[in-house]
Amino acid sequence: MADQQPTNEGNGSGAPDGEPQVSVLAQYIKDLSVENPSAPQVFQWQVQPSVDVQFNINVEKLADDIHEIVLKMEVSARSENGVHFVVDLSYGGLFGLRNIPEDALPPFLLIEAPRLIFPFARQIVSEAVANTGFPPLLLDPIDFAGAYLAQVQAAQEQAGETNGNGSGDTPPAETPSES
């Protein structure tokens, strides 16, 4: 009985060499710009501004097993009176990836990695808006999977138009979108 080995190892005991491994190595603000260009007049305006949210994902391979994902978010509130506020945030995450199949890498980098860092970026935007004197802005979750699928479909359509074969090339490592 003493020479029996457990069939599964405990949490944190290290995965076997062939198993996929993902680690969030770091998260950080890469760039942050906050503007309240119409202060102090904006606080007397009695209109509800429209809020516009744009996002973009940039992926850069830093080493064999390390990728940087930067979620760039531009949030602005405007009305017929003018600009209420503008927040421009680039929030980065370093991800260590081992034994990830090549076909699973783009979906992870453009869907799961941004999904993991989005709540932190959303909190920074909320606090930045509150620091301009407005109520905190809690952004709705972003459908990264939908944006990725739309990009893949657009790339396939474009490939079909340019060379006529409709091959599904891997999309570029950048996903612009709106929410």
Which of 24, 84, 28, 17 has its CA nearest to residue 52? 84
| Residue 179 confidence (pLDDT) | 47
Cβ–Cβ < 8 Å for 141, 117: no
| Residue 18 confidence (pLDDT) | 79
| Residue 161 confidence (pLDDT) | 77
- Give the list of residues 6+ apart from residue 178 with CB closer than 8 angstroms, or none: 52, 53, 54, 55
Helices of type H across 6-143:
105-107, 113-131
| Residue 79 confidence (pLDDT) | 95
| Residue 172 confidence (pLDDT) | 47
For the chain, which ranges sit under pLDDT 70? 1-17, 162-179
Rounded to two decimals, the pTM is 0.78
- Give the list of residues 6+ apart from residue 79 with CB closer than 8 angstroms, or none: 45, 47, 48, 49, 50
| Residue 86 confidence (pLDDT) | 97
DSSP output for 110-156: IIIHHHHHHHHHHHHHHHHHHHTTSPP--PPPP-HHHHHHHHHHHHH
